């Protein structure tokens, strides 16, 4: 199988990255991050979440962030919405694309959104109807596709069933999340092969957390399966509050470096992306988790 010529990068740093931070991060810093990312050429940015502030306090200011960003034409600014209430809050600030999130593991579904997988899918139905009425596109996530922090191994067939349901209810794309970063390349290839029987490969995306350092290998394995959309997080920010020990997503800078080396277009500018990662890392008071960003500065770039 030949590699795709173009890959769409879905930048989830402001959402998946920052949601896990305990320290307060100001709306100004969040807005700056999103604007830095769009300036770097990212065409799709997940800005925040309209979830319960009791569950994820860091995302409580998402409406203010949406109100503060400089929306560039052609860029999609998306938000998570777990239910109708979340969609309504997103609509109130003019959000044009949301993402719903289900899990392939029952235990994770309970811990993350307080309901079973079947209940979550039922809950998405009125959201999907309302989104359709408002012309809002909906992306779907499936978590724990290669393993669950509570249940261990997850069958690819179970992932395929949930992904198929999300697609059938109208999600234009389904992103498969290795929430705890345990997957390895051969499991990833098999996963896309099995899920591909339910959802075509050009409607699937890969979302790899880098806990075990396998994310880039897993992205390469996905590319070999014809997957051309990947979620990543600038500076490797983040983790999931309901998956203890899960580190951030694969760093966007590292994914971009890989793709550039493979001659795959993304439209993203590496130095500007590194700069965006550097600025938010300074705000958080720690070194970037991106290996490419670290090497960049060690090589004397400013
Ligand atoms: P619940 O407690 O079962 O909800 O939570 P409820 O419907 O019974 O409502 C309880 C309270 O929450 C009420 O407030 C509601 O108004 C409020 P109260 O009357 O007690 O004051 N509420 C809301 N508030 C704001 N926005 C809303 C909303 N909905 C209800 N949308 C719920 C169920 C889904 C709301 C909750 O469990 C929740 O918010 N969970 C979010 C968890 C989350 O955001 N996790 C991280 C994102 S997923 C992820 O990171 C994985 C991913 O990256 C992929 C991967 O890596 O695998 C996507
Ligand atoms: Mg995630």
Residues 153-208: tens digit of each pLDDT: 999 999 999 999 999 999 999 999 999 999 999 999 999 999 999 999 999 999 99
Q: What is the mean pLDDT of the chain?
A: 96
* Ligand 1 proximity of 179 Cβ (cutoff 6 Å): yes
Is 115 an active-site residue? no
* Ligand 1 proximity of 58 Cβ (cutoff 6 Å): no
CATH number at residue 293: 3.20.20.70
> Which ligand is nearest to the Cα of residue 180, counting in written order?
1
Whether residue 3 is contained in a domain is answered as no
Q: Which domain holds residue 294?
A: 8-298
Residue 268 in contact with residue 231, Cβ under 8 Å?
Answer: no
Atom of ligand 1 nearest to the CA of 178: 57
* Ligand 1 proximity of 177 Cβ (cutoff 6 Å): yes
Record the pTM. 0.97
* Ligand 1 proximity of 249 Cβ (cutoff 6 Å): no
Phi, psi of 103 (to 5 degrees): -130, 155
The tokens for 222 are 């996905």
Residue 117 has pLDDT above 90, yes or no: yes
> Which ligand is nearest to the Cα of residue 84, counting in written order?
1
Question: What does the pLDDT read at residue 238?
Answer: 85
Residue 150 has pLDDT above 90, yes or no: yes
In angstroms, the Cα distances linking 234 to 16, 36, 57, 191 are 10, 11, 21, 26
Mutate to test the pocket of ligand 1, among 20, 52, 105, 218 (most ligand atoms within 8 A of CB): 52
Whether residue 290 is contained in a domain is answered as yes
Give the total number of structural domains in the chain: 1
Distance 98 CA to ligand 1 centre (A): 14
Beta bridge partners of 207: 177, 231
* Ligand 1 proximity of 51 Cβ (cutoff 6 Å): yes
Atom of ligand 1 nearest to the CA of 49: 44
Mutate to test the pocket of ligand 1, among 47, 48, 51, 139 (most ligand atoms within 8 A of CB): 51
User: What is d(CA 57, CA 50) in angstroms, rounded to the nearest whole number?
Assistant: 11
* Ligand 1 proximity of 98 Cβ (cutoff 6 Å): no
Residue 273 has pLDDT above 70, yes or no: yes
Residue 223 in contact with residue 4, Cβ under 8 Å?
Answer: yes
Q: What is the mean pLDDT of residues 105-126?
A: 97
Whether residue 2 is contained in a domain is answered as no
Residues 32-53: tens digit of each pLDDT: 999 999 999 999 999 999 999 9
Distance 297 CA to ligand 2 centre (A): 27
């Amino acid at each position: 199988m030949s590699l795709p010529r173009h890959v769409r990068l879905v930048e989830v740093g402001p959402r998946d990255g920052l949601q896990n931070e305990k320290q307060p991060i100001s709306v100004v810093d969040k807005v700056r991050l999103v604007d830095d990312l769009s300036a770097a050429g990212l065409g799709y940015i997940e800005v925040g979440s309209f979830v319960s502030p009791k569950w994820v306090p860091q995302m409580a200011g998402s409406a203010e962030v949406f109100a503060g960003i400089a929306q560039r034409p052609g860029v999609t600014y998306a938000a998570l919405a777990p239910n109708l209430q979340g969609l309504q809050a997103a609509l109130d600030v003019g959000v044009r694309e949301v993402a719903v999130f289900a899990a392939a593991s029952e235990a994770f579904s309970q811990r993350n959104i307080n309901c079973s997988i079947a209940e979550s899918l039922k809950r998405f139905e009125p959201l999907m109807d309302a989104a359709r009425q408002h012309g809002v596109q909906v992306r779907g996530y499936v978590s724990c596709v290669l393993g669950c922090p509570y249940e261990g191994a997850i069958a690819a067939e179970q992932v395929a069933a949930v992904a198929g349901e999300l697609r059938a209810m109208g999600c234009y794309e389904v992103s498969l999340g290795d929430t705890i970063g345990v997957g390895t390349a051969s499991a990833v290839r098999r996963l896309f092969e099995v899920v591909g029987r339910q959802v075509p490969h050009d409607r699937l995306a890969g979302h790899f957390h880098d806990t075990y350092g396998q994310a880039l290998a897993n992205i390469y394995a996905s590319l070999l399966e014809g997957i051309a959309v990947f979620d990543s997080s600038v500076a490797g920010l983040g983790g999931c509050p309901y998956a203890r020990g899960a580190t951030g997503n694969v760093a966007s800078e590292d994914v971009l470096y890989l793709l550039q080396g493979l001659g795959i277009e993304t439209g993203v500018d590496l130095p500007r992306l590194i700069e965006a990662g550097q600025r938010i890392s300074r705000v958080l008071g720690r070194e970037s988790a991106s290996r490419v960003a670290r090497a960049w500065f060690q090589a004397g770039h400013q």
